[in-house]
Amino acid sequence: MSKINKENKPITSEKLMNELHRYQKGSITRRHFLEVTGLGAAMTVLGTAMPSLLPRKAHAFGNLGNRLVFATWPNYHNQVNLDEFTKMTGVHLQMNAFGSNEEMLAKLQAGGTGWDVIVPTNYTITNYVNLGLIQPLDLSRLPNYDGSANDPMFAGPATVNGTVYCVPKNWGTTGFIINTKKIKSSPKSWKDFFDVTMGAGSGHTIVHDYQLTTIGAALCALGYSFNSIDPNELAEAEALLIKSKPHLFAITSDYQPGMRSGDAWMSICWNGDATQLKNDLPEMDYVIATDGGEIWTDFYAIPTGAPHLDAAYVFINYLQDPYIQAREASVHGYAPTDSRAIALQPDSLGSDPILHPAAELLNGLEFGAAQTMTDPVRAEVIARFKSA
């Protein structure tokens, strides 16, 4: 969180040029430009002499309404950015944080969510498109998005049958975090993860309340694919999970409080949470398992029938601004997919092995598959494991 404080320092020439660029492109208003660059104060002096420079009420965005409902993940945004958006546009953000994509799908299927923008993960998109739950994007309304700046490995799932349905947000990995003060054996794989859980670390492990990652971890520990939907392999994974259940500290996707309080020593973990934890507690160590795991991209999409469509486009466009993306990443600790944003990141983050792991570490990881989301056996396995 300390990084937010840097916003208060005097503006650098680099940032001034950035802000000027954003202003010229219409990403920010004149008023905002004057404010963040510190030129606003000068205006009060110059104003009388040069009336044309006086800040006017911003009409750059038209009438967007005053509200935008937005479904995303916990610990995934920089409050400074969100506040700035509200200040600029007058649109208040109502944020719903979720624990799993399946939960988001369940709400969308039930209908009447009132959501304007959602943050789905790669493996959900073809399902959402097939079910008619998200709408194609009009890229002309997203001038800040630059398709060529995004690695197709990450941005690929956004396009279904030649139509672009979303734009990428961040990419990351799902591994596990350990408190090295408590766990000395340095586990390297999901097999080690479950061994430690049922051994030296008994009573102190958290697994997600999320079928994709929790079943995926158990499958990898058994030597199977993270995405397996083979009923026999899933039965083995279920047996492993149920066997480990008495040794777990909790089944929850909100694992930061447990890790921070010292109650939990090890947890399935997304790499951004790992960065956030490690920033505050140096004894935390993030591990990309050697026997597999997940690599993912999150996207911005607009649900079908979004009530505040114009505001949704302006919001996504705002968040695609490379400078805003970099500022997001400075807080949540996930790598942008956009090379323009990566270039703006401070060196400490640009070379951080948790955000940007060595390519060979990614070799064993899998992107979630569309059928992994909808497979009824996986859905029932996680539900049985939790109620066991």
Q: Which residue has the tokens 């790598």?
A: 335
Residues that bind other proteins in the complex, under the rule CB under 8 A: 100, 102-103, 105-107, 109, 127, 130-131, 203, 209, 211, 245, 248-252, 257-258, 261-263, 374, 376, 379-380, 382-384, 386-388
Residues forming a β-bridge with 95: 70
Residues forming a β-bridge with 168: 299
Q: Which is nearer to other proteins, 103 or 366 (CB)?
A: 103
In the complex, what is the shortest distance from the CB of residue 373 to other proteins, in angstroms, rounded to a whole number? Answer: 8
In the complex, what is the shortest distance from the CB of residue 106 to other proteins, in angstroms, rounded to a whole number? Answer: 5
Q: Which is nearer to other proteins, 155 or 178 (CB)?
A: 178
In the complex, what is the shortest distance from the CB of residue 262 to other proteins, in angstroms, rounded to a whole number? Answer: 4
Q: Which is nearer to other proteins, 138 or 283 (CB)?
A: 283
Q: Which is nearer to other proteins, 150 or 205 (CB)?
A: 205
**How crowded is residue 11: how many other Cβ atoms within 10 Å of its Cβ?**
14
In the complex, what is the shortest distance from the CB of residue 318 to other proteins, in angstroms, rounded to a whole number? Answer: 30
Q: Which is nearer to other proteins, 26 or 262 (CB)?
A: 262
In the complex, what is the shortest distance from the CB of residue 73 to other proteins, in angstroms, rounded to a whole number? Answer: 15
Phi-psi region of 232 (alpha: psi -120 to 50; beta: other; left: phi over 0): alpha
In the chain, DSSP assigns E strands to 67-72, 92-97, 117-118, 159-160, 163-164, 166-179, 205-207, 248-251, 266-270, 284-287, 294-301, 335-336
Q: Which is nearer to other proteins, 47 or 246 (CB)?
A: 246
The answer to whether the CB of 77 falls within 8 A of the CB of 71 is no
What is the secondary structure of 259-280 as a DSSP string?
HHHTS-SEEEEEHHHHHHHHHH
Closest CA to 213 of 179, 242, 190: 190
